[in-house]
Amino acid sequence: MCRPNGMAACFLVAACLLVAACSSQEMRRAEQAGRGDATVFDGARVITGDGTVIEDGAFVIEGGKFTSLGKTGEVAVPAGAARVDLTGKSVMPTKTDLHGHLGYENIIEGTTSKENVTRENLIDHLERYAYTGFGAVVSIADLAEREIMPGDHLDVYQAKRDPNMPKTGRFPWGDVPVKVAQEVIPNAALFRTAGPGISWPGSGAQGAPARNDVMYPVSTPEEAREAVRDYVKTKPAFIKIWMDDRGGKMKNMPPAVYQAVLNEAANHDTYVAAHTVTLKDAMGLYEAGLVGAVHAPVRSGDHPDEAFLAIIKERVKTSKFPLWFSEHGSSAALGPQVWDDPLLWEMLPRDQVMAQLGAAFKRMTPEVVERARKSSKETGDDAKTLIAAGMKLVYGSDNGSAGRGFGWFEQLRFENWITMGFTPMEAIVMATRDSAQIAGIDTGMIAAGKSADFIVLDANPLENIANTRRINKVYLRGQEVDRAGMRARWQAKWKGPVQTQ
């Protein structure tokens, strides 16, 4: 292939040989990866994710999976295995977020829009999750091409943008979240989507306008069944519904409609998770077959009573799926000082954070923080009551608003479980093993057979949950995440003060 004559031939032949050598090396690396060559990590405090701690622990990784675990010197290590010395470090599994809103936010520009939902932007968010030790996330209220519901619902959602759009067909929103959910992206958390969601017309996601018109609008049982049949085509993590009249300003989905959603979901071997608020609504939903709640199922002044707990205990016995809820307490309970941390400044410029959130920090007076801590503790007491009845508390950030970024805000809401009254070990188990189990993802534990997703920490998180910020390295699927490369790319985009909305 390299046959030119003269002096130039020497250079070209040498170049060909170099290319061939590099190709050969790449082939050898690929072959080695296929054989699952082993690496042993030893000397660390290993927090396994199920409540167990192994001091001076060791574990072996082959082919992206944990294969063995135990005390250093007592684990069988394959011949020729590479060794990583983690003496003095703590290791824990990566966390899983079951309630994100990814893709809409342009983190650097501080904007939220449907136009931001691109593959590149979604991957940027997933890399930020990975950077802070999250191995997986389930996103809710995602854009996806779907059937337009018939009748007047078109006027509610689409007419202002395109009055000429027919009342049948599909919303032209693309399928970026659906496609990314089918990928395994290096250096990024695994992504799963819970699709657009279902609500009474206009009563779904509030806040950022970009997400207000995403969900299926339904007002009859037949529309509800039709929506579910279309919804499941994207193989969602679960089906999301909203049950919140926003203080009497909106209309709630009546029982006949949400019962149709629940029944049709069961017909397709999936389940429903709800945004719900009142005790009355929660009782009706759980009696009808609700499985998940993306916040505490009873809140805003209502509390679980004996009648509700009796329903939960019976459902725990009979439900095909584990009953779960996510809750993070009051965001102000940690105070404004937690935002001044080196981990955050690696990910976002100070001027951007202060421009977008500085006013909120000023409102976090000592009195506000103390009220927030009391509120979080009350929320935690209710959460413990639900856990005692058989439900699982799992991690859900509910993040996706411009100004918070991704990764750091999730980290703080994880730490906020301590203000709710949970111990660091309880928080770790719930955010790792339990959250991964509910998400249906093979991660969340340092155990043989699980995906090798873990965080190496410079300090013990069992002594102080804030030590989970002191990240030395993150590994996903047995490969070290390129955190230095991420920092360089992010910081290259910082161009002085940013514009806020």
Q: Can you spell out the DSSP letters for 36-97?
A: T-EEEEEEEEEE-SSS-EEEEEEEEEETTEEEEEEETTTS---TT-EEEE-TT-EEEEPEEE
pLDDT of residue 69: 97
- pLDDT at residue 18 greater than cutoff 50: no
User: For 160, phi and psi rounded to 5 degrees?
Assistant: -65, -30
CB 148 within 8 A of CB 168: yes
pLDDT at 2: 44
What is the pLDDT, as a whole number, of residue 355?
Answer: 84
pLDDT score, position 404? 75
**Phi, psi angle pair for 228, to nearest 5°:** -65, -40
Q: Give yes or no for residue 35 having a pLDDT over 60.
A: no
User: 11-25, 155-169, 446-460: which range is least confident on average?
Assistant: 11-25
What's residue 247's pLDDT?
Answer: 83
Domain residue ranges in the chain: 7-92+462-492, 93-457
Residue 360 in tokens: 């909120």
What is the arithmetic mean of pLDDT over 109-114?
86
477, with CB counted inside 10 A (0-12, 13-18, 19+), is middle
Q: Is the pLDDT of residue 396 over 80?
A: yes
Residue type, 381: D
CB 312 within 8 A of CB 342: no
Alpha helices in 195-318 (DSSP H): 221-231, 255-267, 279-288, 306-318
pLDDT band at 432; cut points 50, 70, 90: very high
Report the range out of 25-29, 156-160, 215-219, 429-433 with the highest average pLDDT: 429-433
CB 203 within 8 A of CB 245: yes
- Choose the weakest-confidence range: 22-26, 127-131, 235-239: 22-26
- Calculate mean pLDDT across residues 241-270: 94
Residue 218 pLDDT greater than 80, yes or no:
yes
Is 127's pLDDT higher than 70? yes
Q: What is the mean pLDDT of residues 356-366?
A: 91
> Sorting pLDDT into bands at 50, 70 and 90, what band is 169?
low
Residue 444 pLDDT exceeds 90:
yes
Least confident interval from 103-107, 177-181, 312-316 = 103-107
- Mean pLDDT for 449-455 is 98
May I ask the CATH class of domain 93-457? alpha beta
Question: In which residue are the tokens 């003095």 written?
Answer: 88
Q: Taking 70 as the threshold, does the pLDDT of residue 272 lie above it?
A: yes
Report the pLDDT value the prediction gives residue 107, as an integer from 0 to 100: 87
Query: Whole-angstrom Cα distance, residue 292 to residue 109?
Result: 34
Q: What average pLDDT does the segment 410-418 reach?
A: 95
Helix (H, G, I), strand (E, B) or coil at 368: helix
pLDDT of residue 163: 54
pLDDT at residue 378 is higher than 90: yes
* Residue 3 confidence (pLDDT) above 50: no
**pLDDT confidence band for 405 (50 / 70 / 90):** confident
pLDDT higher than 50, residue 1: no
- Through-space distance between the first and last CA atoms of the chain, rounded to whole angstroms: 58
The whole-model pTM stands at 0.88
pLDDT for position 12: 41
pLDDT at 205: 87
Residues 355 and 497: beta-carbon distance below 8 Å: yes
pLDDT band for position 29 (cuts 50, 70, 90) = very low
| Residue 477 identity | R
Instruction: Report the range of poorest mean pLDDT among 188-192, 299-303, 452-456.
Output: 299-303
Helix (H, G, I), strand (E, B) or coil at 465: helix
Q: Which CATH architecture has domain 7-92+462-492?
A: Roll (2.30)
pLDDT of residue 493: 84
Percent of the chain residues topping a pLDDT of 90: 72
Q: What is the dihedral of CA 353, 354, 358, 364, to 10 degrees?
A: 70
